[in-house]
Amino acid sequence: MRAAILHQANQPLTIEEVEVSKPKAREVLVRTAFAGLCHSDLHMMEGLYPYPVPVILGHESAGVVEAVGSDVTYLKPGDHVISCLSVFCGTCANCTTGHPNICDNTEVKLLPGAARRYSWKGQVVHQFANLSSFAEQMLVHENALVKVEKDIPLDIGALVGCGVVTGVGAVFNAAKVEPGATVAVIGCGGIGLSAVNGAAVAGASRIIAIDTVSSKLDVAKQMGATDVINASNVDAVAAVKDLMDGIGVHYSFEAIGHKVTAEQSFAMLRPGGVATIIGMVPYGTKIELHGADFLRDRKIQGTSMGGNRFRVDMPRMLTLWKQGRLKLDHLITGHIKLEQINEGYAQLKSGAPLRNLIKFDS
């Protein structure tokens, strides 16, 4: 099969012929249909999050089951599936208490460098996030997949596999936004826009979208934002408080992964407010907050993939899309070929596109 390989940080990906193993117990071989270009992979490409190389990146994807290994009971060949990096065992303490997104069973959620599923020129090619979807085929544990109805377009399904389940999940699961609450979202990429849309579905009364790219703010309005702030020429915290009569918002979401914006998300809270950091802040980065601000019950928290229970959450989100309440089509910038992946990431770094999706030949 063909796959895009990262050989070294800050080097272009190369398209190579890679060998994939046959499915073993509990494993499923998937023919990849679409894979989204997510900013999380870019962090690995730029060396901000160290990862063993060579590696096949990619984690936001959907496809069709080709083969299953022994003991697989959930799926069969021909099933349409969405992948999720929140692979779970179902039996550890986190899974059995309703937090499968932070499953800690390393026999299922393999640690970086542990998987031996792909090879190139006789050497192991590492698997990213137990998925590696920048390839024509994925070999994964069955608990990294959710089955979906065959009338769901697989490009829409791929979006839900990361950006949407993370952004909407942060609203529903992590912050638990209440009807009538006020919300600010910093960063209007795929995840941030999903948080905007999720806040609208949750019934927030004011939803303030913040970005430095005016085209993304235009999309935010279509996704449910009641107010937008272009932070390229104003202080975002002051602008939010001006809109909120000086007292700030009930909930804020940081969807970029920068020190400054993480600190801003906390500063724009009203007393009793909750800031949720969705973005991947680089290793070693310290976030500085004023201790006195905690005295008014302000809180800051992180979230892993929106606190998802993806086999429940993703089908529900797709139902909301069918109802016209989640506006997933707005997130797709276009389809590209696997050979165009480096150009696609160059566009992503420019801040212009929302989501380019690799479309694999069927």
* Known catalytic membership, residue 43: yes
Among this protein's residues, is 162 annotated catalytic?
Answer: yes
- Of residues 39, 43, 99, 126, which has the active-site annotation? 43
Q: Which residues contact 236 (CB under 8 A, 6 or more apart)?
A: 186, 210, 229, 261, 264, 268
Q: Is the peptide bond before 77 cis (omega within 30 degrees of 0)?
A: no
* Burial class (CB within 10 angstroms; exposed 0-12, middle 13-18, buried 19+) of 45: buried
Is residue 208 within 8 A of residue 227, CB to CB? The reply is: yes
Mark whether 290 is an active-site residue.
no
Q: Which one from 84, 92, 162, 188 is the annotated catalytic residue?
A: 162
Rounded Cα distance between 190 and 39, Å, is 9
> HSE on the CB side for 161, CA within 13 Å?
38
Asked whether the beta carbons of 198 and 168 are under 8 A apart, the reply is: yes
Q: Which of 7, 21, 39, 40 is catalytic?
A: 40
Residue 141 annotated as catalytic: no
For residue 194, count CB atoms less than 10 angstroms from its CB and return exposed for 0-12, middle for 13-18, buried for 19 or more. Answer: buried
Beta strands in 7-132 (DSSP E): 14-17, 19-20, 27-36, 55-56, 61-68, 80-83, 118-120, 123-127
59 noted as active-site residue: yes
Of 54, 14, 63, nearest in space to 36 by CA? 63
Q: Which of 39, 59, 141, 250 is catalytic?
A: 59
The catalytically annotated residue of 7, 21, 38, 95 is: 38
Please list the active-site residues: 38, 40, 43, 59, 162
